[in-house]
Amino acid sequence: MVTVELNDEDSVKAIQDFVRNTPDINVYEYIRRGCNGEVYFGKRIKMNDDVVLKFYWAHPNYDATEEAIILRDIDHANILKINDLRFLPPYYAYFLTPRISGGDLQGIIDSRRLSSKESLEIISGILLGLTELHSKHNLVHRDLKPGNILLDLEKNIPIIADLGAVKKIHTANGCVTASKSTYLYLPPEAILANEYYYQSDIYQVGVIMFQLLGGFFPINSPISWLNAREKKQLDATRNSVEKSRKFEEIIGKKVIKGQLANTNTLPCYLDAGFKRVLNKALNFHYEKRYKNPSLFLKEVHSLLRSCPDYMHEPDRLLVSHENGKEFQLYKNKREEVVLEKRLSNKGWRKDNSHNGTVESALSVARTA
């Protein structure tokens, strides 16, 4: 049922009618997500809990497909629980899920910088959920991106959401067709051959990790990826459909060349291991990526154990160690490199055991 004005005129009539005639859910908000589905928020009257109603395009037998049957039974901390799933004529699948407290990961990225430890812990949780999908259920997600990762602030864990694109792969080395709902996150094999493997999900998690760690990935202004010549080509295209197609063509070439998530743009303060792990996850050849999420997770845990926590603030870099030792690195008014340290939250004291270069100061700060 609906007790407020939803302003959902952009939604199709079948969906509008459905949310208005659902007797056990009080629907109170609508958000248009474009090609990523129609989203409504509501509260279940008897359960008194907030829920999300999401509608995806689907074939008429979707709620009887193997994927849908599997999704109903998945119960994992890092995968969004589906309370109900059904087909809504004429061509939509309806998912009813809990509403998660912290919103999505893209919102977090847009609002603040995460430390390297926070980033790795989020990736760890995503890989745990992906292990469940791959190993237990032979499912690939096909649309992993920060906007499809929710953060449960109460439990402090990431949750894989937006499961409308999942597909089952029936053989260990098999593949399915790619989902093109989020072009910027497509792996090379999806662009070149419309193929999507288990390792294609690995690639998408690699892109998320790349973003979290501060690599150049201007998702909110994708035109920034283009050089002057490419921008000129795009500006010369007047038709909006052709313009979109031309942009995807340019981006596709960058994905294939490894220029979209270019690990050379990672912050200089990160240890070499970060780049090594990402280069494997983002490898052009899907066979050369991590074979499964567990192997990727093992490497992420190794980074968590062996590297300090880096937090890049506007005016300084903070480096923290498990033993309580902290360093801060910044430049003074004369543009000189300054390194300070403190122990167990005591006052900051200058450390002059470096030669005045950023590299030398970082070398000291990395020492536990």
How does strand 157-160 pair with strand 92-98?
Answer: unpaired
In a domain, 29, yes or no: yes
Pair 29, 64 in one domain: yes
63 domain residue, yes or no: yes
What pLDDT, on the 0 to 100 scale, is given for residue 208?
98
**pTM assigned to the model:** 0.95
227 belongs to a structural domain: no
Q: Has residue 2 been placed in a domain?
A: no
Range of the domain at 93: 13-98
- pLDDT given for residue 238 in this prediction: 84
Q: Which two tokens stand for residue 360?
A: 């030398």
* CA 335 to each of CA 71, 267, 319, 357: distance values in angstroms, whole numbers, following the listed order: 56, 19, 20, 11
CA distance 69 to 237: 45
> Each residue's pLDDT tens digit in the chain (368 positions)?
888 899 999 899 999 999 999 999 999 999 876 566 899 999 999 999 999 999 998 888 888 889 999 999 999 999 999 999 999 999 999 999 999 988 999 999 999 999 999 999 999 999 999 999 999 999 999 999 999 999 998 889 999 999 999 999 999 899 999 987 788 999 999 999 999 999 999 999 999 999 999 999 999 999 999 999 999 999 988 898 999 999 999 999 999 999 999 999 999 999 999 999 999 999 999 999 999 999 999 999 999 999 999 999 999 999 999 999 999 999 999 999 999 999 877 899 999 999 999 999 999 999 87
248 assigned to some structural domain: no
Number of compact structural domains in the chain: 3
Which CATH number covers residue 32?
Answer: 3.30.200.20
Q: Which of 271, 269, 250 is nearest to 184 (CA)?
A: 250
Cis preceding linkage at 267, omega within 30: no
- With contact defined as beta carbons under 8 Å apart, do 16 and 1 qualify? no
State the burial class of residue 231 (Cβ atoms within 10 Å of its Cβ: 0-12, 13-18, 19+).
middle
- Distance of alpha carbon 344 from alpha carbon 346, whole angstroms: 6
Instruction: Give the max Cα distance, the chain.
Output: 71
Same domain, 131 and 198: yes
- In this structure, the answer to whether residues 298 and 329 fall within a common structural domain is no
Q: What is the structure's pLDDT at 34?
A: 56
